[in-house]
Amino acid sequence: MLSLAAMAESITIESSAPKAIKYEELIPQLKSLVGADKHPIAVMANVAAAIQGVFGFLWTGFYTVEGRELILGPFQGPVACMRITIGKGVSGAVLAEGYTIVVPNVDGFPGHIACSSDSRSEIVVPVKNAAGVICAVLDVDSAQLETFDDVDKKYLELICDWLGAQIF
């Protein structure tokens, strides 16, 4: 059992469970932790910390949209690139295209931005407001190849859909 303390709240996940079950356990606890709070930085910070804490990825964090750029937001992991132009890298491609991109091997993605040389695979999910406009992206990096699949895509999209409606 994995327990992540957060002020008076905590997130408890069965650490030996398959990842789909971990996501199933995480999502209602995240919603409960966040409650009615709509502050974008506070909410994104705890979402990044919870995902990173449960799964132990290399890097989990958000970039927010400002004009035609992505600006580094709340994250957990090594220091990272602070600005990414629309269309550049995986995150910039998601901003340009509007859908999730799963990268099984970062060396196979033309234009991948290597914020960390330890990153081997990656998933980037758009966070949209109620009008469907992308306001941020969730970027998750792994030090292993082929970490992310349809299970991660499904649940991270559920998290980002809820998050976008909550804070944007």
Residues that bind ligand SME (CB under 6 A): 59, 80-81, 84, 89-92, 112-113, 115, 119, 122, 139, 141
CB of 68 to ligand SME, least distance (A): 15
Residue placing its CB nearer to ligand SME in the complex, 13 or 163: 163
CB 77 within 8 A of CB 141: yes
d(CA 167, CA 160): 10
Residue least distant from ligand SME (Cβ): 89
Residue placing its CB nearer to ligand SME in the complex, 22 or 88: 88
CB of 139 to ligand SME, least distance (A): 5
CB of 2 to ligand SME, least distance (A): 24
Residue placing its CB nearer to ligand SME in the complex, 92 or 164: 92
CB of 90 to ligand SME, least distance (A): 4
